[in-house]
Amino acid sequence: MEQRLAELKARLAEINDLGKTAALLGWDQRVFMPPAGGGVRAEQLATISRIVHERFTDPEVGRLLDELQPYGESLPYDSDDASLIRTTRHDFEKAVRVPADLRVELSRAASHGYDAWHEARATNNAEFLRPHLERNLELRHRYVECFAPYDDPYDVLLDDYERGMKTSEVAAVFDELKPALKAIVADVAEREPVDTSFLEGDFPAEQQKEFALRVLEMLGFDRTAWRFDETAHPFASSMGIDDIRLTGRYDAARFGEGLFAAMHEFGHGAYEHGVDKALDRTPLARGVSMALHESQSRLWENLVGRSRPFWRHFYSQLQEVFPVFGGVDEAAFYRAVNAVKPSLIRVEADQVTYSLHIILRFELEREMLGGLDLRELPQIWNQRMSDYLGIDVPDDAHGVLQDVHWGSGSLGYFPTYALGNVVSLQIWERLAADLPDIEDQFARGEFGQLMTWLREHLYRHGRKFTPAETLEQVTGSGLDAAPYLRYLRRKVEEIYGTSDPSSTPAAVG
Amino acid sequence: MEQRLAELKARLAEINDLGKTAALLGWDQRVFMPPAGGGVRAEQLATISRIVHERFTDPEVGRLLDELQPYGESLPYDSDDASLIRTTRHDFEKAVRVPADLRVELSRAASHGYDAWHEARATNNAEFLRPHLERNLELRHRYVECFAPYDDPYDVLLDDYERGMKTSEVAAVFDELKPALKAIVADVAEREPVDTSFLEGDFPAEQQKEFALRVLEMLGFDRTAWRFDETAHPFASSMGIDDIRLTGRYDAARFGEGLFAAMHEFGHGAYEHGVDKALDRTPLARGVSMALHESQSRLWENLVGRSRPFWRHFYSQLQEVFPVFGGVDEAAFYRAVNAVKPSLIRVEADQVTYSLHIILRFELEREMLGGLDLRELPQIWNQRMSDYLGIDVPDDAHGVLQDVHWGSGSLGYFPTYALGNVVSLQIWERLAADLPDIEDQFARGEFGQLMTWLREHLYRHGRKFTPAETLEQVTGSGLDAAPYLRYLRRKVEEIYGTSDPSSTPAAVG
C-alpha cells in the first residue's frame, strides 16, 4: 500500500509541477511578457493544460485510487494521506466525466470570447459579445450534462469554484442579504455624505507602492518568499508555498484603491503561503475554495485595512509620505476610506454595495442558464442596477460588459465573491473571541497573532477537507449572513452616525 | 503522408511548448524568483525535462519518422519540411540512445555538483569539489559509451553543443590559435600599456542601464518582443521567436562590461528573434549550434560594440550621460575598451586572451577524460596560466574553480566559446565584402543593413541545416582561424601602434 501511495504521490507531484508551471506562464503573461509573445504563450498554456488533464485522467490514477480507498479509510480522517486520497478521488471523478473534446471546445470558446469581450467593451457594443455568450452557454449546458443527475444545473457550475455548495444555499444567503443591503443603502442615502475629496489629488504611484509594501511587510510579506509587481488588473498567484506573487496597480490621481487592492491580494497570498509545507507539490496545497479564499482577501483588505486601529498605527506614517494628509484628521480619513456610495463598477464598489453587484450577477447567471433571451440582458442589467443601487447605467461598457467572466465562459464564479464577504465576518467573530485584544494589537502595529491564528485554524489545512468541513471547523457553523450584516450595520452607524467614531467601540468583535 | 507529417508536427509543437516553458522557469529562477522558491522550482524543472524526454522518445515518434523519411528525402533539401524531418531524426536517434536512469543520474549529479561548486568556490577549496567532478566524469564516460563507436570520446561530448564537429577539427584550429595568440600577448607586453584608468569611477547602474538600452534599441531591440532585466550572471533566453529575454548587470564602479555584456546578450537574442517565424514551435526554431550562437554574441559585442565607427556615433551621447568622459577623447576611449591585458578570469578577458583561457580548458577536459589525476588539476591549471598568459593564480577561486561548467557536469561546451570568436570573423569578412560601407553606416548610427544581412544569411534558417552546412552557406568555407587572427593582429596594431588610430583604416573589412 505504501508503494501504491508513493506512486500516486509521485504522479500528483508531477501534475502539481505542471499546474504551477502554468501559473508561472500566466503570471508572466500578465506581468512581464512582451506583447508579441501572446500567440505562442496561449499555445504553451494550452499544451500544459492538455497534459495535466491527460495525466490526471490516466486510468492508472483511477486504479491507484481504487486500491488505496480502503487504506485511506483506515487512516484518521484528518491525516494528510487520508485527505489526499479522498480529495484526489473527488477531483478524479469530476475530471473523467468531461470528454476531452468538450474541454477543448470550452477552452477555445473561452479564448475567443475573451477577445470578443475586449472588443465589445472597447466599442461599447453588447451585441458584438452576444454570439460568444450564446456559445459559452451552449457549451456550459453540455458541461452540466456531464454531471447529471443534479438538483439544479447551476449546482454543477458552482461546484467548480465551491465544491459541494448548492445553489439553494447561495440563494438562501442572498435572499437574506438582498433586502438587508438595500435597506442599508437606503439608510445611508438619507444621511450626510462622508467627505472623500481629500483622497483625490497627486499621489505618485511610486510612493503609493512603497507605502503599500511597507504595510505588507508589517503584515507578513517577506522578500525571501514573496514578490510584488505591477500589472493592469491586480491578482495573486503561487508557484509554490514559498513562492508567492502579488501584483498591484496605483492611480496617481487617487489614494486608496492601490493600497486596499494590495492588502486584498496579500490575503490571497497569505492563505497560499500558510498551507502546511508537508502538503507542497500535492493537490491539497492551496486554498480550499474561492469563497474561503475571498474571505481572506476581504479580511485583510477590509477588516484589517479599513479598521480604525489599523489607521491608528499607520496614519502618521501615511501623513509623512503624503503631507497633504497633514490637514486631514485621522477620524475623517477613516470615514473616507469606509464611505458607502452606490457606483457602477463592481471592482470599485464599497463594502455594502459590493454584494449587491454580485447578487445581480448571480440572478442573471441563473436566468441565462434558464434560457433568458440574451438580447434583453443589457436592459435587465440596467433596470436592476436602478432597483438595487438606485443608479443609472450610462452605457454597457459601464454595465453588463464591465466584467471579463461571462465572455470568457466563467459562470458560477461570481457568487463566491459575496460569500467571501459573508465568511470573512464569520471567521472574524471567532478569532476576535479568541483574541479579544486583537484590535489593540493592530493599533500597536502587531499583526503576528492574527496571522498565527489564521494559519492554525484555516491556512495550514489547504484542501484537506471540503469547503463546508473547513468552514465548520474554523467557525463552528455553516454559511451565516448575520455576522456580515451586523458588521455592516455597526460600521455604517460608526461612519455615518453623529458621534465621533474615535469614541465608539471597535468596529467588530 | 501529410497527415503523418501533421501528427509529427503536433507532437513536436507540444514538446517545443514544454521546452520553452522550461526556459521560462529557468529565466524566472535567475531573474525574479524569491529565493525560498528554489526547492520546488528544481522539481518543476526536473518534471518538465522528464516529460519532454518521455514524449520525444515515444516509439510513435520513431515510427512517424521512419514513415516520413522517404517523403522527406523526396522534398527539396532546404525545404522546411525536409529539414524538420531530417533534423528531428538526428535528435531522436541521439535521445533514444541514453537510458532514462542515466539521464536522471546525470541530472542529479549536475545539481549536487553545482551546489558543491558554489561551496568550493566560496571556501576556495578545490578538494571539496573533487568527488563531484569524479562522479561527473564517471557518468560522462557512461554517457559516451551510449554513442559507441566513436573516434574520440570527446567527440560525443562536443556533439551535444556542436553537432557533427570532431575533436580533431577543434584541436587543429586551437593548434593554430595557441602559438599565434601567445605571440600577440607577448607582443603587446612589450608595448606601452593603454590607459584604462578613466573607465573606473562612479557610473550609477541605472544610468548605465539606460544607456545600454538606448544602444540596444538602435541595434534592433524592440519592446513589443523583447525584455531586458537585471540578474547576477547575464544570459539571453527565448520563450518564442517573438519573446526574447535579455539580462544584464552593471558595476557602478566601472564602465564597460555592463554595456558590452548587454550587446553580447543582444547578439544571442537577435539570432533567436531572427529565425523564420514559420519555424516557431518546431525544433528548428533556434540557433544551430553553440559556436554559431556565440559567433553572434561576439559579433555584436566586439565587431560592432568595440569598433571605432560605433563609438564615432555613440561617444558624444555617452559623454552626455557620463560627463567625466568629457575630458577623454574618443581615440583614447576607443583604445581603452580594446585594451589587451592578461587576467585571471575568463569572463572578464579581452578579445586576444579570451581564447587562450578556452584552449586551456579544452586541453584539461580531454586530459580529465583521459584519466588525469584530479588532485593535480589545480596545479596544472596554475602552471598553464603562467605559461599561456604569464600570470600567477593566487588561489583556486580565481583559478580552476572560477567556472560553473565542470561542477555541473558540462564537458565539451567550453571550446564553442573560442570557436564563436573564430566564426564571428569568418562571417564578418563575408558581410563586409557584401556591405563595403557597413562601418560608415555604423558611424551614422545605422545598423539595419547589418541585421538584414545576418537574418538573410544566417538567422532565418534556425536549425534547418547542420552547423557545418550552415557555416559553409554563410561563409563559403569550413572553420578557419585566419580571419580571426588577421583581425586581432590588425586591432592590436591599431590600438598599440604608434600612429593615431583615427587615421588608420577601419579595423576590419
User: Among A36-50, A190-204, B323-337, whose mean pLDDT is lowest?
Assistant: A36-50
Q: How many A/B residue pairs have CB atoms within 8 Å?
A: 117
Q: Which residue has the cell 518534471?
A: B47
Confidence of residue B506 (pLDDT cuts 50, 70, 90): very low
* Residue B243 with chain A: CB contacts under 8 Å: 33-34, 36-37, 40-41
Yes or no, beta carbons of B51 and A223 under 8 Å apart: no
Confidence of residue A497 (pLDDT cuts 50, 70, 90): confident
**pLDDT tens-digit profile of B10-43?**
999 999 999 999 999 999 999 999 999 998 999 9
Q: Which of B332, B489, B503 is nearest to B425 (CA)?
A: B489
The CA distances from residue A297 to A341, A420, A477, in Å, are 21, 8, 21
ipTM of the complex: 0.92
The CA distances from residue A261 to A131, A246, A251, A374, A423, in Å, are 33, 10, 11, 33, 19
Yes or no, beta carbons of A24 and B25 under 8 Å apart: yes
Cα(A465)–Cα(B360) distance, integer angstroms: 61
B17: nearest CB among A35, A43, A280: A43
Cα(A83)–Cα(B142) distance, integer angstroms: 43
pLDDT higher than 80, residue A509: no
**pLDDT tens-digit profile of B268-284?**
999 999 999 999 999 99
Yes or no, beta carbons of A240 and B40 under 8 Å apart: yes
Q: Which of B377, B300, B338 is nearest to B132 (CA)?
A: B377
Cα(B69)–Cα(A240) distance, integer angstroms: 44
Cβ proximity of A324 and A198 under 8 Å: yes
Cα(A147)–Cα(A133) distance, integer angstroms: 21
Q: Nearest chain A Cα to B238, which residue?
A: A37
Query: Which residues of A does the annotation mark as catalytic?
Result: 265
**pLDDT tens-digit profile of A237-285?**
999 999 999 999 999 999 999 999 999 999 999 999 999 999 999 999 9
Mark which residues 232-251 of B lie under 8 Å from A by CB.
Answer: 239-244
Give residues with Cβ within 8 angstroms of B150, minimum separation 6.
B144, B156
Specify the length of chain B in residues.
Answer: 509
What is the model's pLDDT at position A498? 57
Where residue B281 falls (left for φ over 0; alpha for ψ -120 to 50; beta otherwise) is left
* Residue B14 with chain A: CB contacts under 8 Å: 47, 50-51
DSSP state of B195: P
Give the type of residue at A427. Answer: I
Q: Which of B352, B248, B336, B264 is nearest to B301 (CA)?
A: B264
DSSP state of A386: H
Yes or no, beta carbons of B34 and A244 under 8 Å apart: yes
C-alpha cell of residue A41:
504563450
What is the model's pLDDT at position A499? 46
Give the type of residue at A155. Answer: D
Q: Which of B304, B331, B325 is nearest to B447 (CA)?
A: B304
**pLDDT tens-digit profile of A11-35?**
999 999 999 999 999 999 999 999 9
Q: Is A370 on the interface with B (CB under 8 A)?
A: no
Q: Nearest chain A Cα to B43, which residue?
A: A17
Q: Which residues of A264-300 are buried (b: 16+ CB within 10 A; e: fewer)?
A: bbbbbbbbbbbbbeebbbbbbbbbbbbbbbbbbbbbb
What is the model's pLDDT at position A407? 93
Cα(B21)–Cα(A509) distance, integer angstroms: 48
Confidence of residue A100 (pLDDT cuts 50, 70, 90): confident
Confidence of residue A502 (pLDDT cuts 50, 70, 90): very low
DSSP A225-276: TEEEEE-SS--EEEEETTEEEEEE---TTBSSHHHHHHHHHHHHHHHHHTS-
Choose from B29, B31, B43 for mutation: most chain A CBs within 10 A.
B43
Across B241-318, the runs of DSSP E, i.e. the strands, are 243-248
* Residue B33 with chain A: CB contacts under 8 Å: 239, 243
**pLDDT tens-digit profile of B341-375?**
999 999 999 999 999 999 999 999 999 999 999 99
Helix axes B167-189, B482-496, angle to 10 degrees: 10
Give the type of residue at A457. Answer: H
Report the pLDDT averaged over residues B427-448.
97
Entry pTM: 0.93
What is the model's pLDDT at position A33? 95
Q: Tell me how close the Cα of A412 comes to any Cα of chain B, in angstroms.
A: 31
What is the model's pLDDT at position A75? 98
Give residues with Cβ within 8 angstroms of B101, minimum separation 6.
none
Q: Tell me how close the Cα of B226 comes to any Cα of chain A, in angstroms.
A: 6
Q: What whole-number percentage of chain A has pLDDT above 90?
A: 93
Report the pLDDT averaged over residues A437-466.
98
What is the model's pLDDT at position A506? 43
What is the model's pLDDT at position A112? 87
Choose from B9, B11, B17, B52 for mutation: most chain A CBs within 10 A.
B17
Alpha carbon of residue B303 to chain centroid: 15
* Residue B36 with chain A: CB contacts under 8 Å: 224-225, 242-243
Yes or no, beta carbons of B227 and A32 under 8 Å apart: yes
Q: Tell me how close the Cα of A124 comes to any Cα of chain B, in angstroms.
A: 27
Q: Kindly report the average pLDDT of chain A as a whole number.
A: 95
Yes or no, beta carbons of A44 and B17 under 8 Å apart: yes
Choose from A40, A206, A246 for mutation: most chain B CBs within 10 A.
A40
Q: Tell me how close the Cα of A371 comes to any Cα of chain B, in angstroms.
A: 39
Q: Kindly report the average pLDDT of chain B as a whole number.
A: 95
**pLDDT tens-digit profile of B281-300?**
999 999 999 999 999 999 99
Report the pLDDT averaged over residues A401-419.
95
pLDDT higher than 70, residue B504: no
Specify the length of chain A in residues.
Answer: 509
Q: Which of A95, A85, A239 is nearest to A160 (CA)?
A: A95
DSSP A436-489: TTHHHHHHTT--HHHHHHHHHHTGGGTTSS-HHHHHHHHHSSS--SHHHHHHHH
Instruction: Please tell me chain B's helix, strand, coil percentages from 3-state DSSP, rounded to the nearest 5.
Output: 65, 5, 30
* Residue A39 with chain B: CB contacts under 8 Å: 240, 242
Peptide bond into A149 cis (omega under 30): yes
Yes or no, beta carbons of A35 and B240 under 8 Å apart: no
Yes or no, beta carbons of B242 and A36 under 8 Å apart: yes
pLDDT higher than 80, residue B437: yes
* Residue B237 with chain A: CB contacts under 8 Å: none
Yes or no, beta carbons of A37 and B223 under 8 Å apart: no
Confidence of residue B107 (pLDDT cuts 50, 70, 90): confident
pLDDT higher than 70, residue B499: no
The CA distances from residue A442 to A376, B63, B210, in Å, are 49, 67, 42
What is the model's pLDDT at position B77? 98
Name all domains of chain B by residue range, CATH numbers in brackets: 2-96 (no CATH), 198-341+432-503 (1.10.1370.30)
pLDDT higher than 90, residue A203: yes
Cα(A215)–Cα(A234) distance, integer angstroms: 17
Q: What whole-number percentage of chain B has pLDDT above 90?
A: 93
What is the model's pLDDT at position B498? 57
